[in-house]
Structure 1
Amino acid sequence: MRRKLLVGGLVSALLAALAAVIAAGPAGAAVSLRLQYKTSATGATADQVEPWFNLVSTGSTAVPLSGVKIRYYFKADSASQQYRFACSWAVVSCSTVTGTFGAISPGTATADRYLEVGFTAGTLAAGAQTGDLQLRFYRADWQRITQSDDYSFGPARTTYGDWTKVTVYQNGTLLWGTAPTGGNPTATPTPTVTPTAPGGNAGVVFDDFNYAGADDAGITAHHWTVRTNSGGPGVPGASWPKGNISFPSVGTGNQALQLRAASDGTASGTQQAEFLHQRKFLAGTYAARVKFSDAPVSGPDGDQIVQTFFTITPLAADLDPNYSEQDFEYLPNGGWGEPSNIMYATSWETYRNEPWLAVNVHNEVRASYDGWHDLVLQVSGGTIRYYIDGTLFAEHGGDYYPETVQSVNFNLWFIGGGLVGSSTQRAYHQQVDWFYHAKNEVVPPSEVLSRVNGYRASSTRWVDTVPAS
């Protein structure tokens, strides 16, 4: 061991200055951010890895968080092992925090994977900090993780402190930390958008819902189904009457799909509604203009009801690996442990009913979404993006990306056990102005609206050029 001789305060000051430079990050970088780290799971093995971060601004200008990526490097327990990410709590809100996994090639003895943490919204002011980002990830098979051989793991870090074994990038530029060999990001090509209108170079579906009623022959001809069979989700024993689907006028010369759900507080007196398209959808852009409602159109308020637009592959068996689902779900009266209105965007890998095990990732915003909203879902290149009214709401990927063709669904249902204690009949409505899909094409929300307006300007009510699967 080499000994250092410290002579007086001058040497101490020089060493302190040198330490500050090292902690700030790589030489020559225009450093404006630094990262503090701690862990709440310090064992050599753990049920889940728990990296907690605090991102600190050291610059003089505000930093848009949407351009910031944090990378935590680790050694996979096996070459085929898959992992899941979750945000337990964040000062900036878990609804704005994303987590995806990537591989390092060639790997090292301590790193062949990384967790990349990003943000969908927010700005970090000059001199400010994000505060707690309490994050975790775990094995998809729920077995314990060996973390003692992970590059970024710091078992002694039980309080926040600067940590250069986790890197921070801004728009692809390294600002903080030292990555393991091969751990720097490579440029991701921007998805190509074909600027055709009304567009879609691999097939499109557009429906303006210009039908006379639930028995209109055009519904079946256009590959939609009005659900009437029993079963979940929702209140066990509830019915799904065809009459709960209608197409009222919502403007001059314009109709909308309307779903109705009603209840008198009993299972036999509860009705729900679902309208679904055939299974033939996978990569591409999905969009709909949906009217959510915070209150029933009649009767007492307070039932826990779910208002949805989603894609889904049926579950063939418990933990079916071919299952997939991407959901917009609005709960105006809360539910699933939430006390009031909340919007979820959820991507599913699979699930098991008994005992319940959900393998999904979600973002949420606790706010009212009463009224009309433009919902856009982009599924492309291993990434799922959810937009509401043109703003990115959530971004998911990895194991949650769908593998098999899906159907498109609109569903209005009551949460089992969530009905208010009243026998007075009440009814809720959800409306859908139009639906649009462009196969194998990433279409920005603004372009979606332009294409829909193009169809309407030409009085085109329905188009379907997407081949059946």
Structure 2
Amino acid sequence: MSGTPHTPVAIAAALAAALALTGFASTATATTTTVTAGPPPAADEVLFDDFDYTGHDDPALGAHGWTVRSGSGGPGVPGATWAPENITFAKEGGAGGGNSVMTLRTATSGTAQSTEQAELHTQRMKFGYGTYAARVKFSDAPASGPDGDHVNQAFFAINELKAPMDKDYAEYDFEYLPNGGWGENGNILYTTSWDTFNPDPWEVVNQHTEERRSVAGWHDLAITIDATGITYYVDGRQFARHDPEYLPEKPMSIDFNQWLIDLEGQTGTEARGYDQQVDYVLHVKDQVLTPAQIKAAVEERRAAGTTFEDTVPAASPAARP
């Protein structure tokens, strides 16, 4: 995120009912290949990262085009900080082997000053039509301390809102709220496709789909974008299909973050921490892959010993603010 509020339309049932989910025709054009069967197609423009790093300060992270967020700013609790040290890396099977996994930790003692959030995003906004995929572990319970905070665990693509109701804005989210928030009282998984919004007064143009159930544990998440619309998958199942009115006009960055919506879910002052984990990320430019082909593309790279690959060309604007 770049400091703009990042909130699905379903802040509360009453607000959601009041906001019309309308959109505007996209001016984007692209040639996209849809592949429905067989092995993953040959692709010259791919981002793959197995997150095989030593820590948040590993020089390879920056060299590979990632930024570990620091400082303050939205989304989340006003006055909270984005703590680089809250992003760590470890082997699933311990030091002896296994896939490397990234952990994003959000910690708080119930005050804005004690709240630390975590975010990793690409330095460049160069991703558009094609396939986005990641294996993500959501959590319902804190890693330590009492439960109840309004946590948001997210995987998404986004570009910059340069002005209220900016028509070049785009955002495509998976967001899991294990303890509710935005007027929800329990587990909810959102997918939201954004056309634009105005932060003040709050006005949105988006389309969203949600399921009210626990999705704790590891899940294969995918977003495909082509001229016909946006499709979201969870563990190979089509979760949502959103309309072409919400297609991106400008390139985006790829992001993972975990943050607190507010401090109202758990009002105690005992320290607690929540973890979200990520196994890998894959983007294939201008190609729509099936879930089976995503799995095959990841397995192919791991079998070859490839832990990082980025052949997606830079776009203009190149650097994320």
Query: What SS does the aligned partner of 1:455 have?
Result: helix
Who is 1:248 aligned against? 90
Distance 1:306 1:227 in 2: 16
Segments of 4+ moved more than 4 angstroms: 136-141, 194-200
Tell me, in whole angstroms, the C-alpha distance in 1 between the residues paired with 2:47 and 2:310: 4
Contact 1:265–1:419 (Cα < 8 Å) also in 2: no
Tell me which residue corresponds to 1:403. Answer: 249
Aligned-partner SS, 1:412: strand
In the TM superposition, residue 193 of structure 1 has moved relative to its aligned partner by: 1.6
Aligned twin of 1:265: 110
Which of residues 409, 419, 424 is equivalent to 2:270?
424
- Determine the structure 2 residue equivalent to 1:21: none
Q: Deviations over 1:422-446 (max 9, x none)?
A: 0000000000000001000000011
**Counterpart of 1:274?**
119
Change (3 A) 1:274 1:139: closer
- Map 1:182-201 to 2 at 5 A: 192-193=34-35, 199-201=41-43
Give the structure-1-normalised TM-score. 0.59
* Matching of residues 9-24 of structure 1 within 5 Å: none
| Residue of 133, 153, 157 corresponding to 1:307 | 153
**Aligned match for 1:219, one of 61, 73, 76:** 61
1:460 aligns with 2:309: no
Supply the distance in 2 between the matched residues of 1:444 and 1:138 (Cα, whole angstroms).
Answer: 28
Q: Does 1:328 align with 2:174?
A: yes
1:349 aligns with 2:195: yes
2:6 maps to what in 1?
Answer: none
Please list every run of 5 or more consecutive structure 1 residues that lacks an aligned counterpart in the other structure. Answer: 1-85, 90-133, 142-189
Aligned letter for 2:249?
A: E
**Inter-partner Cα distance in structure 2 for 1:384 and 1:441:** 13
**Distance of 1:324 and 1:138 partners within structure 2:** 15
Take 1:194 and 1:299, find their aligned partners in 2: how far apart are those partners?
A: 46
Aligned Cα RMSD in Å?
2.4
User: TM-score, normalization: structure 2?
Assistant: 0.86
Change (3 A) 1:308 1:140: closer
2:40–2:293 CA contact under 8 A, matched in 1:
no
Query: In 1, Cα distance between the equivalents of 2:36 and 2:205?
Result: 34
Q: 1:457: how far off?
A: 1.1
2:233 maps to which residue? 387
- Amino acid of the residue matched to residue 426 of structure 1? R
**TM-aligned CA deviation for residue 237 of structure 1:** 0.5
Match of 1:371 in 2: 217
Asked whether the 8 Å contact 2:40–2:289 carries over to 1, the reply is: no
Cα distance in 2, alignment partners of residues 259 and 418 from structure 1: 22
**1:358 CA drift (Å):** 1.6
Shift of 1:253: 2.8
Paired AA for residue 85 in structure 2:
G
Which has the higher mean CA deviation after the structures are superposed, 452-461 or 286-295? 452-461
8 Å contact from structure 1 (residues 198, 454) kept in 2: no
Secondary structure of the 1:243 match is helix
**Counterparts of 2:20 and 2:204, CA distance in 1:** 15
* 3-state SS of 1:258 partner: strand
Distance 1:239 1:467 in 2: 32
Partner of 1:290: 136
Distance in 2 (CA, whole Å) between partners of 1:226 and 1:199 is 32
1:272 is paired with a residue whose SS is strand
Displacement of 1:416 in angstroms is: 2.2
Q: Is the 8 A contact 2:188 2:214 kept in 1?
A: yes
Identity %: 50
The alpha-carbon deviation at position 137 of structure 1 amounts to: 6.5
Shift in Å at residue 200 of structure 1? 4.5
1:236 aligns with 2:81: no
How many residues are matched?
A: 291
- 2:27 corresponds to: none
What secondary structure sits across from 1:334 in the alignment?
coil
